[in-house]
Structure 1
Amino acid sequence: MKLKICGMKYPDNILEVGSLLPDYMGFIFWEKSARYFDGAMPNLPQSIKKTGVFVNASQGEIATKVAQYDLQAVQLHGHESVVFCQELRSKLAKNIEIIKVFSVNADFDFDQLHPFETVCDYFLFDTKGKLPGGNGTTFDWKVLAKYPSQKPFFLSGGIGLDEIDLVNEILKTDLPIYAIDVNSKFEIEAGLKNINLLREIHPKISTDNSRIVRTNIK
């Protein structure tokens, strides 16, 4: 199970969190966000995939940020179309991962995912709210029982230590969960992560799926 820590902002804190070796670290390039990143990128271990988070940005802006910050992944958190994703894929190096975000509620239509399967590497499911992301609440994960695909996805939206038992339960299902994405519930303030809380999360997440008896979500 991969771990993505999103909403990084402050260089010293970025280095501190980087010492924990999360698989992904997210940097938000949406100016309206309290976690907007526009500073200098410190040197991080090569195993960490630096991920740029964009909301309805142009392909040119995304490509510029990828080059400027040596990003290994881009997360599209707006209303980007299939064609947009396809064109962006052709502009970026083949090793740059594309993560397409969908905001989920009880009425979410999973049929809309199908056209995106060939133009992105992963989906990310977040809670539908007033903001494109970072609303700090979980959606009802039972809705994922309707997931019709084998495309791996990130699970996001208000995940904190109190939700880890639920995370481990959903990992027992057949769902192709690739990673969990944490943010606001591990913060001292917007963009400043609590290193002590983050140290607790890895040991609490089930990683040996071979020992898990898989069941269906009910």
Structure 2
Amino acid sequence: MSENSLKIKVCGMKYSENIEELLLLRPDYVGFIFYEKSPRFITTQWAVFASVFPKTTRKVGVFVDETAEGVLQKATELGLDMVQLHGHESPELCMEVRETGLTVMKAFRVGEDFDFGQLQQYAHDCDYFLFDASGANPGGNGVRFNWEVLKNYTLDVPFFLSGGIDLEHVEEIKALRLPQLHGLDLNSKFEIQPGLKDMNRLKLFIEEIRG
């Protein structure tokens, strides 16, 4: 995929005015974290910002080791387009959620010795994978992993790249030759505080990637 066709997902949004500012940048996906231990746990009333979403921006709910029932209830209540499963969810849970018509993205924390073979059991039950760095928290650690290991990924399931992506990485991302790379997941490196994004820096990154 060419760099100017990479999808942009901005995750961990928490504040309604900040969300409205972000939507002016036309990201492809906006992620909301429904994990109470996260500092980006979304508590804003959905009605405050639901109506301003353009049709081209998809709403993503991020869950960590939630039950299928819990995921589906939240997705129905809030009109989510996609769910991101960022814990130790089984292929069976992914299948159960996906069979309802929701788009499913399963996240994996990647290190130097990551076994991509384990993804085969998820391949038929996920629309996307997300590859994040290992860290103390399930996500939002602000650290990178060695992107070279992604050359070992051979499945057809498209994936999002996550983990410490910053403005300084634009040219490196443009140089990547990873045919299954579908999008970029932006979060902590663009924050003023957890859940509050710096729109100037995000705007610059999106313009440079899409330019």
Q: TM (normalized to structure 2)? A: 0.93
Q: TM (normalized to structure 1)? A: 0.90
Q: Distance in 1 between matches of 2:108 and 2:179?
A: 16
Q: Aligned in 2, Cα 1:10/1:174: closer, same or farther, shift over 3 Å?
A: closer
Q: Displacement, 1:206?
A: 5.5
The structure 1 segments of at least 4 consecutive aligned residues displaced by more than 2 Å after TM superposition are none
| Contact 1:168–1:206 under 8 Å retained in 2 | no
Q: Displacement, 1:84?
A: 1.2
Q: 2:122 is matched with which residue: 92, 102, 116?
A: 116
Q: Please tell me the root mean square deviation across aligned C-alpha atoms, in Å.
A: 1.1
Q: 1:19 is matched with which residue: 20, 24, 48?
A: 24
Q: Could you report, residue by residue, the CA deviation over 1:129-180 in whole angstroms, capped at 9, with x for unpaired residues?
A: 111101101100011111121211000000010111111111xx14311000
SS at match of 1:53: strand
| Counterpart position of 2:199 | 195
Which stretch of the first structure deviates more once superposed, 11-20 or 39-48?
A: 39-48
Q: Distance in 1 between matches of 2:93 and 2:178?
A: 30
| Counterpart position of 1:39 | 44
Aligned pairs for 1:119-134 within 5 A: 119-134=125-140
* Structure with greater contact order relative to length (CA < 8 Å, sep ≥ 6): 2
Aligned pairs for 1:119-158 within 5 A: 119-158=125-164
| Counterpart position of 1:55 | 64
| Contact 2:150–2:178 under 8 Å retained in 1 | no
Q: Distance in 1 between matches of 2:206 and 2:199?
A: 12
| Contact 2:159–2:180 under 8 Å retained in 1 | yes
Q: Distance in 1 between matches of 2:210 and 2:19?
A: 25
| Counterpart position of 1:29 | 34
| Counterpart position of 1:177 | 181
Aligned pairs for 1:199-210 within 5 A: 199-205=203-209
Amino acid at match of 2:25: L
Q: Displacement, 1:40?
A: 1.6
Aligned residues: 202
| Counterpart position of 1:8 | 13
Q: Any unmatched runs of 5+ in structure 1?
A: 208-218
